[in-house]
Amino acid sequence: MKRPMVGAHTGSGASPDNTLASFLEGVQSGADIVEVDVHAAKDGTAVLLHDDSPYLLTCTFEQLNSPAMRRRLDPAYAEHEIATLEQILQLSDRLGTKLNIDLKSAASILPTVRLIRQYGAQERVHITGYSETMTARFPDIPVMINTPVKVEAWQPEQYDKYDKFAQRVCEAAKRDGYAGLNMNYRTCFEPIVETAHAHGLTVWVYTVNEPAQMERFIRMGVDAITTRKPEMLLGFLTK
């Protein structure tokens, strides 16, 4: 059975999400991949943030990173500076860590692409999240398509309908140049994994935190599992 890669979800440790400290906790967990969420500040700086904010339209990175503005963005940042994607790429280059860069807006695409190319990181990053037009414009950068978070008919007893969904999604992903599928775990079942692999696509599932679900996806043969409990998942994989 193929071992799936372990993805440490943003904030998989004790530190606030999308901080340098949380990134390092993900690395220290032993995960193969660490996820970060990326927005762009007014000056085009790619910054680590999950939620959208009107301040992104009016503030440069330097302004966002002031103590007063950090507290407005989220009280969790009172003791943590805003991290930039460039800092993460520098660290991941030195540490050999793969990245799942989850883009949160169209504005984050170009700054992210420039940095990936600047650091020659195409072989150790995958893009998830907002990826419209990316495969056509930047074919050197691997992009995963985010599949629908709700599937009209996904119960196991309705696999005939699910098969059609799987075929449709995989054909579209292959046609549009995606490297694979990034799926909410509630929508991922055996038929789509088999269909994706038959199309030469990989399957990543998120965010899997329960032991029974971890074991199910390991048996299913998915290629990567994103979790807030990477140590637990690694424990299953080393049994």
* Neighbour tally for 239: CB within 10 Å: 6
Give the torsion sign (CA, 79, 8, 97, 105).
Answer: negative
- Classify domain 5-142+207-237 at the CATH topology level: TIM Barrel (3.20.20)
Token pair for 161: 């309908």
Give the separation between CA 148 and CA 184, rounded to whole angstroms: 8
pLDDT tens sequence for the chain (239 residues): 689 999 999 988 899 999 999 999 999 999 999 999 999 999 999 999 999 999 999 999 999 999 999 999 988 888 999 999 999 999 999 999 999 999 999 999 999 999 999 999 999 999 999 998 999 999 999 999 999 887 654 555 556 788 888 999 999 999 999 999 999 999 999 999 999 999 999 999 999 999 999 999 999 999 999 999 999 999 999 87
3-state secondary structure of 113: helix
The answer to whether residues 214 and 225 touch, using CB atoms and an 8 Å cutoff, is yes
| Domain definitions of the chain by residue range | 5-142+207-237
To 5 degrees, how large is the angle CA 58–CA 15–CA 3?
Answer: 110
The answer to whether residues 188 and 205 touch, using CB atoms and an 8 Å cutoff, is yes
**Of 148, 101, 146, nearest in space to 122 by CA:** 101
* Neighbour tally for 44: CB within 10 Å: 13
Token pair for 7: 């993805």
